[in-house]
Amino acid sequence: MRTTPIVVAAAGPEQWVQIAGAILILIPYAAAQLGRLDQYGLPYLAFNAVGSGALGVSAAVSSQWGFVILESVWFGVSAWSLLTVLRGKTPGSAAG
């Protein structure tokens, strides 16, 4: 049986930004799902804002407009919630 070798290209700078952005979102998400991180806490919201911002910029550079929309909204919600926490309020509360 003849096999075709798998060739893995070296990741360029844009790929590293995407990987870092994804990690900044996914690790805190997993931690929150496991009850180890408060989803309304400063670290969770900050990681989400930075990660989604990085992914949004990367998507814009690549002209991936669907992802630009997704990550822009994700960043906006995360940043708004982060500012709410920094003001001493709880994100998502009716009293907000």
List the pLDDT tens digit at each of the 96 positions of the chain: 677 777 666 778 889 999 999 999 999 999 999 999 999 999 999 999 999 999 999 999 999 999 999 999 999 999 999 999 999 998 876 554
SS3 87: coil
Residue 96: the pLDDT is: 46
Q: Report the Cα–Cα distance between both ends of the chain, in Å, rounded.
A: 64
CA-CA distances (angstroms) from residue 79 to 8, 9, 41, 59?
A: 36, 34, 12, 18
Q: Which of 58, 87, 86 is nearest to 71 (CA)?
A: 58
Is 62 in contact with 14 (CB distance < 8 Å)? yes
Residue 5: the pLDDT is: 73
Q: Which of 91, 54, 90, 84 is nearest to 72 (CA)?
A: 54
Residue 46: the pLDDT is: 97
